[in-house]
């Protein structure tokens, strides 16, 4: 009897009474799974953390994975982290923080508005600063109309986790929040009781007195006007930065090294003698570098980047933006916020968000729909932003429990739009 070829298991055809055998699916090594997940944006990893399997939950929730993902998103693939803008009302005590996508603002066509997503807490909170996807919030606990405590908490809007509020002992005016990358510590600086103090977030968080902020860094015998009360954190340098300006004199930056907990100062680009020195410059961060914007010759603004942090000789001219009716003219310069390709998002002296195209010189007002932000007395964002305070941040998986803080997920609640 002739026999035909015996098929392989993979080629087996189901027949009546026959058992079909199949090969088990290939098993991916844990290292390969981790490498794949590191290439997924943070906002997409959050639902995967709770919906796939226990091993994925453990991996995505781990401190090391959060650090690796943050490092990759900042250094290798910026598309993994979405720049977002958070804001609160500085005029009325609304317990709400509004958030909108910066990339959407810069890429959407004029007829397609960027929607604001509101988050609600149990009380009014100020945003002290942002770092590695964490927002540091300050609130006041009141009883019978009286303030009984000042507290700080950390919140990651992407993961939804917040730390339990920590007592900080006073109102924060000159302050700042940032990351000590050498010691892997998140730190809050503030002047309390006329002393410079540092607060390290962790299981045993306490204030420590450090080098004095206000007395050792003056221009001659006169202290300049402090332009920004909240220090600007420059990622990769571990520093907080404050801008000082003195009429008919130069402008300088006071820098706090969060690793050494010491201060330094450096000058900004030289100004021409015919510049209007009454116009206050503005500090910002563009392309991960410290940036400053001056009004120049009463005809335009000049934006500079500090290519090598702390080295005044590295100031490089980035853009010249002519005066324009949409920008307005007050005793303030443009405040640089963010750059995408050759478009600069800024807050103009007129009190509006503006998009400045550095290629063709065009100026546009972005379409931001703030109708659902729960702050009805402030008016729409497209009209004026001066009644709000803004903080740029990037999404990440970093959570307070990674560095020993008790955390919960109920302090800031997403407000769903009504149907």
Q: Tens digit of pLDDT for each residue in 327-342?
A: 876 677 899 999 998 9
pLDDT given at position 10 = 47
8 A C-beta contact, residue 249 and residue 277: yes
- What confidence tier does 219 reach under pLDDT thresholds 50, 70, 90? very low
Higher pLDDT, 259 or 78: 259
Please check the confidence at residue 222 and state whether its pLDDT lies above 60. Answer: no
- What confidence tier does 216 reach under pLDDT thresholds 50, 70, 90? very low
Please check the confidence at residue 114 and state whether its pLDDT lies above 80. Answer: yes
Higher pLDDT, 207 or 258: 258
Torsion of CA 178, 180, 186, 190, to 10 degrees: -50
CA distance 158 to 133: 8
CA distance 102 to 84: 5
Domains along the chain with CATH numbers: 30-75 (no CATH), 93-414 (2.120.10)
104 three-class SS:
helix
Pick from 163, 141, 162: which is nearest to 151 by CA?
A: 141
pTM of the model: 0.86
pLDDT, averaged across the chain: 84
Please name the residues in contact with 114: beta carbons below 8 A apart, sequence gap of 6 or more. Answer: 100, 101, 104, 105, 108, 366, 367, 368, 369
Pick from 175, 320, 364: which is nearest to 355 by CA?
A: 364
Please check the confidence at residue 6 and state whether its pLDDT lies above 50. Answer: no
């Amino acid at each position: 009897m002739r026999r035909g070829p015996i098929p392989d298991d993979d080629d087996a055809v189901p027949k009546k009474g026959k058992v079909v055998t199949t090969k088990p699916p290939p098993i991916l090594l844990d290292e390969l799974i981790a490498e794949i997940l590191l290439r997924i944006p943070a906002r997409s990893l959050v639902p995967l953390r709770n919906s796939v399997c226990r091993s994925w939950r453990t991996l995505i929730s781990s401190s090391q994975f959060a650090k690796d993902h943050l490092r990759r998103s900042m250094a290798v693939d910026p598309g993994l982290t979405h720049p977002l803008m958070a804001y609160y009302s500085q005029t009325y005590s609304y317990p709400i923080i509004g958030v909108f996508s910066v990339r959407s603002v810069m890429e959407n066509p004029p007829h397609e508005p960027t929607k604001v997503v509101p988050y609600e807490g149990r009380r009014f909170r100020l945003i002290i600063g942002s770092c590695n996807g964490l927002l540091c919030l300050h609130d006041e606990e009141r009883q019978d109309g009286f303030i009984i405590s000042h507290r700080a908490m950390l919140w990651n809007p992407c993961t939804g986790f917040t730390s339990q509020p920590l007592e900080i002992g006073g109102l924060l005016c000159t302050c700042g929040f940032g990351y000590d990358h050498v010691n892997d510590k998140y730190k809050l600086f503030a002047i309390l009781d006329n002393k410079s103090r540092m607060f390290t977030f962790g299981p045993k968080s306490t204030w420590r007195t450090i080098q004095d902020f206000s007395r050792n860094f003056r221009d001659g015998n006169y202290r300049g006007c402090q332009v920004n009360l909240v220090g600007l954190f420059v990622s990769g340098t571990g520093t907080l930065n404050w801008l000082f300006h003195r009429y008919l004199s130069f402008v300088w930056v006071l820098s706090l090294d969060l690793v050494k907990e010491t201060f330094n100062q450096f000058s900004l680009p030289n100004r021409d003698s015919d510049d209007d020195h009454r116009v206050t410059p503005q500090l910002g961060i563009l392309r991960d570098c410290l940036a400053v914007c001056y009004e120049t010759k009463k005809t335009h603004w000049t934006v500079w980047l500090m290519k090598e942090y702390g080295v005044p000789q590295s100031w490089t001219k980035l853009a010249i933006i002519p005066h324009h009716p949409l920008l307005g003219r007050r005793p303030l310069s443009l405040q640089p916020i963010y750059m995408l390709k050759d478009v600069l998002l800024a807050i103009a002296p007129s009190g509006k968000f503006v998009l400045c195209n550095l290629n063709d010189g065009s100026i546009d007002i972005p379409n931001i729909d703030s109708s659902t932000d729960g702050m009805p007395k402030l008016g729409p964002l497209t009209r004026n932003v001066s009644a709000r305070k803004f903080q740029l941040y990037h999404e990440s998986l970093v959570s307070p429990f990674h560095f020993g803080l008790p955390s919960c997920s109920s302090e800031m609640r997403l407000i769903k739009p009504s149907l």
